[in-house]
Structure 1
Amino acid sequence: MNVNKLKLPEIQEELETTQTRQLSELESNNWESLIKTIHAAALQVLGSKTRNHQDWFDENDAKIRNLLTEKHRLFMIHQNDPDSTSKKDAYCGKRSEVQKKLRIMQDTWLSNKANEIQGYADRHDMKRFYESLKCVYGPTKSGTFPLLGADGSLITKKNEILERWAEHFDSVLNRPSDINDEAIQRLPQVPINHVLDTPPTEEEEVVTATRQMSTGKAPGSDAITAEVFKSGGRYLILKQTEFFQVLW
């Protein structure tokens, strides 16, 4: 979802209002229902994240379209009368002009983008620096690399690679213990912290924990980012507190 919209106060207010309304209509208080409601409300307000990849066509699309349209018009005139030298020269001249202008557009866009990225690097703004690089080059493609099997053969199929990794970690992690139980018993014991058994009764505890969440990070399996929880409002904090009390 497009959490960048939360930079606008009116969007934050709309998200809080929407979540408060939908959570107040929630009948069950289980985690799955709570998460689905929070995600649905956030997606309704924020929408999906738009395509972020940029190239020099993006910002010059109208100019390029006009150039190509004119070149295509002269090309069709030349095709309809291929023996005409003047029409052929007009088409070839326009084609050279279009190619020259497109190269200038591309060079200008790349130069401006390079200056922008260099500015982020000079200001040590690493977040925007890497975001700009990703905008230009696009997201990296995930893939699999071949592995060597236990018998030394090369494994290239994805399912066989996963099975080989499972076999490897099973052999590494599931090993008999060599720890001496008597040595463990001689270790000094830490006093039990009974405060941890106390359920969170105050909403401020949940507020404090929510404020400490890091923003700008990828969401977990519930597809909800920290920004959504931080902008959810007081009623979301209340529902979370009630759930944590039940869970405790």
Structure 2
Amino acid sequence: MTQGGESRKEATKPRNLSTRKTTRLGTWNVRTMYEAGKALHVAREMEGYQLDILGLCETRWTTAGECQLASVETVLYSGHLEENSRHTEGVGILLSTHAKRVLIGWKAEGPRQISAEFRSQKKDINLHVIQGYATTNDKDQDVKETFYKMLKNTIDQVRRKDILILMGDFNAKVGSDNVGFEEIIGKHGLVVRNENGELFAEICATNGLVIGGTVFPHKQIHKSTWASPDQQTENQIDHMCQQEIQGINEGFRYNVEFLREPSSREEFNVAVKNRFQVLETLGEDSSVEETWEAIKKGWTTVCQEVQGKRKREHKPWISVTTLRKIEERKKKKDQVNRSKTRAGKAKAQEEYTKAMKEVKVSVRKDKRNYVDDLARGAEEAAGAGNMRGLYETTKKLAGRYKNAGVPVKDKDGKLLTNPDEQKERWKEHFKELLSRPRPENSLTFHQQRLIWG
């Protein structure tokens, strides 16, 4: 038996997300789907990027439902449920024929959230996709908390062993400073974290979701997900998050700086020679696997005993008290992961949330004290006439300078992207600026000196 609209060939295809085929997901704020031809245009873009699942924000469709496009893709959508409501907000999920075939079910959560569940080839493990559309940063706190409370309820319904993907336009700037959120935010975000970013980071940390766009280094143009109409302001407010399948923290690394000193190198060489003398006792009958395991164990043992683990470098302004709070928060997180019962997990989660807030408060306090100390040092250096000390302190206060990349335009306002054209425009600008005629009422230096004299 086949489902409606399926051929016999289609019905016999695998009905789960294959591990041999890469399943591509994406999210896009389309601004509107409530215009003629926009749905087919979005479907063509989805096909061009070879996506199987595309989350949509600001669809502006009302009510909730499911429909199939003329290009065979399926749209799951959720909007305002009230009758005669305005065409605002709205979210959706666009599915390819393959994704539609493995769809288990979906749920509409109003105009700002929709979720769907899919089968995978792994036995008894499903894929859950949640598409969200958060309010802007200037909205009331109550509205924001309502959105994240609803989002938390949806996440709590996902089984722990299932795969969870959270994506959408959260209007959240998480920034590049990941102090206090090292487990879920990388160091490659944009600008500075705002209030929406704090809320978004908290729910990701609470549920073990890594914000993917901040983990790996990318070009500036690939980091930003939104640009102002004049192309002068770029933000990273759309995000895709997944569970901590692989950690974003650095793995175990040895203290290679130890080998820079000749005496330390000699100590290391002696330890390696002693270890490999023991390996010579292996018989000729030993297999390749046994020999390799013995060699690997020998190297790792020597590195651990002689070099030791490389110490992690922290920000200079983080206090010992804050570091202890961070370690305590990690222990609370482990308790959440080890909890077996729902009540135990809820209690552990409450303690972890409390510990996370304590870390954030302590980090802010340390940074404020650090900046105050630098300001006092700059003031003292200026009073004592210590220009060198004042300069060094000012550099620390200002941080790294980054060119804002102001666009160069010609006289007609056309944007110039070619470097040679930009240089010519700068040359032309300074030539006009420095070759301007002297104002008629201006006085020479000699005349001014006579008048003032």
Measured against the shorter chain, the TM-score band is 0.3 to 0.5
TM-score, scaled relative to structure 2: 0.22
Which structure carries more helix by proportion?
Answer: 1
Which structure carries more strand by proportion?
Answer: 2
Higher relative contact order (CA 8 A, sep 6+): 1
